[in-house]
Amino acid sequence: MTSHEDKIKLADLAITHVLERISHSPQVGYYMGYGTESFERLCAAYAAFYSISAEDARQLFLPLNAKDPRKELQERIEELERESSGRHSSADEDADGDIGPQCLTAYDFVDQVKALMGEHHGSSERCVQAIAALLDITDVPYPILARRAS
């Protein structure tokens, strides 16, 4: 059975962990940070445990980099759309007069993805962006891609 002191220590660890996540994670800070009841209660508990004022606890864990993840996602989508439209217009009319990437076969699409993976091997984030942009302008049905990739 867990002693009373162990329970208090576990509670302290949990409270401190959540407050640190609020302070350091932009998304957690946005949803649970300054001005929320959760933040106020956690700060009050931390303050009581360490015999400091609740205001001092708030200042210790104030989320300075809180960001709305929905806004970030929307900005990311707009960025991919801009990149995609730039690629789309240049790829539609290549030197051979071929039709652009929107008409790739599933096999050609997989080859394009492999090429992008090689091109962006140092940055997985950039690779995912490039693949997402290619997928956005490709008419290959997703189930076909899923079968081919497996």
* Between 100 and 72, the higher pLDDT residue: 72
Question: What amino acid is encoded at 56 in this protein?
Answer: D
The reported pLDDT for the residue numbered 60 is 92
Cβ-defined contacts of 71-80 (< 8 Å, 24+):
72/26, 79/129, 80/129, 80/132, 80/133, 80/136
Task: Provide the CB-side half-sphere exposure for 31 (13 A, CA).
Answer: 8
* Between 103 and 23, the higher pLDDT residue: 23
Neighbours of 22 (CB within 10 A): 24
Confidence of residue 91 (pLDDT cuts 50, 70, 90): very low
Mean pLDDT of the chain: 77
Confidence of residue 1 (pLDDT cuts 50, 70, 90): low
- Contact (CB, 8 A) for 17 and 23: no
pLDDT in tens, 43-87: 999 999 999 999 999 999 998 888 887 888 888 888 888 887 765
Confidence of residue 130 (pLDDT cuts 50, 70, 90): confident
pLDDT in tens, 16-43: 999 999 999 888 888 898 889 999 999 9
